[in-house]
């Protein structure tokens, strides 16, 4: 199989020195990429700004903004057997970009936000659609929100995780996820190292692709 995996945060620039982003470290997406490579799959990794080394043997595409991540995914989606959207894409971006550094006296209260690109909703899929796996980072009502995203985003599977926890999720080496399948069933994968969790996820993705 060929995996197309997104990882890390995106950054939406406000001025030449500031941006809107989130706490994603990219560890989950990178672990999935490495787990897929270990099982002799091909991997295209689309990575936002992270402090991680690129997996050997993966083709790594570096991006910054949600628009750049969309362009990278759209340009390679036709090659993919499985699309794994593990990146934490910014929901908002500044409505306008200031070409010079905004000074304190200018008043940050006047900064307006606009929706950032919704990558999954914007993608144009080829006739031979890949397995589509989305991620839902939530701080409350995990099952409800993950199932809602499953319906909205045309996914085969949503991997939901509670990012408000101190012992898992963003910036942690551990994670605990709720799998929400298109058929309506759910499955909880208890907290463990992201590297071990990624191995389980890749095997699940393989089985799902076989049954498509």
Of the listed ranges 72-81, 112-121, 164-173, the one predicted with least confidence: 164-173
**129-159 tens-digit pLDDT:** 999 999 999 999 999 999 999 989 889 999 9
Given a cut of 80, is residue 110 above it in pLDDT? no
Burial class of residue 139 (count of CB atoms within 10 Å of its CB; 0-12, 13-18, 19+) = exposed
Q: What average pLDDT does this structure show over 38-55?
A: 97
Hey, which residues are catalytic here?
A: 22
**86-105 tens-digit pLDDT:** 999 999 999 999 899 888 77
Burial class of residue 204 (count of CB atoms within 10 Å of its CB; 0-12, 13-18, 19+) = middle
- What was the pLDDT predicted at 108? 59
Q: Which two tokens stand for residue 165?
A: 């926890």
- What was the pLDDT predicted at 106? 62
- What was the pLDDT predicted at 113? 94
pTM of the model: 0.94
Return d(Cα 96, Cα 204) in angstroms, integer: 42
Given a cut of 90, is residue 171 above it in pLDDT? no
Return d(Cα 203, Cα 61) in angstroms, integer: 24
Given a cut of 60, is residue 4 above it in pLDDT? yes
Return d(Cα 84, Cα 44) in angstroms, integer: 10
In the chain the first and final C-alpha atoms are separated, in Å, by: 13
For the chain, which domains are there? 2-91+112-211 (3.40.50.10300)
- What was the pLDDT predicted at 107? 57
Return d(Cα 132, Cα 82) in angstroms, integer: 6
Express as a percent the part of the chain with pLDDT over 70: 98
Average pLDDT, the chain: 94
Q: Residue 187: pLDDT band by 50, 70, 90 thresholds? A: very high
Strand order in the sheet with 82-85: 59-62, 42-47, 2-7, 82-85, 131-138, 157-162, 174-181, 186-193
Given a cut of 90, is residue 9 above it in pLDDT? yes
Return d(Cα 70, Cα 68) in angstroms, integer: 5
């Amino acid at each position: 199989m060929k995996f197309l995996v997104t990882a890390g945060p995106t950054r939406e620039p406000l001025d030449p020195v500031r941006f809107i982003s989130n706490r994603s470290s990219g560890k989950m997406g990178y672990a999935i990429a490495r787990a897929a490579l270990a099982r002799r799959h091909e991997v295209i990794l689309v990575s936002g700004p992270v402090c991680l080394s690129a997996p050997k043997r993966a083709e790594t595409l570096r991006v910054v903004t949600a628009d750049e991540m969309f362009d990278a995914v759209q340009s390679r989606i036709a090659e993919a057997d499985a699309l794994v959207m593990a990146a934490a894409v910014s929901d908002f971006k500044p409505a306008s970009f200031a070409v010079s550094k905004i000074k304190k006296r200018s008043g940050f209260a006047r900064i307006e936000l606009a929706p950032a690109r919704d990558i999954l909703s914007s993608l144009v899929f080829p006739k031979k659609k890949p397995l589509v796996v989305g991620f839902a980072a939530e701080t409350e009502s995990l099952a409800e929100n993950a199932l809602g995203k499953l319906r909205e985003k045309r996914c085969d599977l949503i991997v939901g995780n509670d990012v408000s926890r101190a012992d898992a999720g963003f910036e942690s080496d551990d994670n605990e996820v709720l799998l929400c399948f298109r058929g309506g069933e759910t499955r909880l994968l208890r907290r463990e190292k992201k590297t071990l969790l990624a191995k389980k996820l890749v095997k699940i993705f393989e089985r799902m692709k076989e049954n498509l």
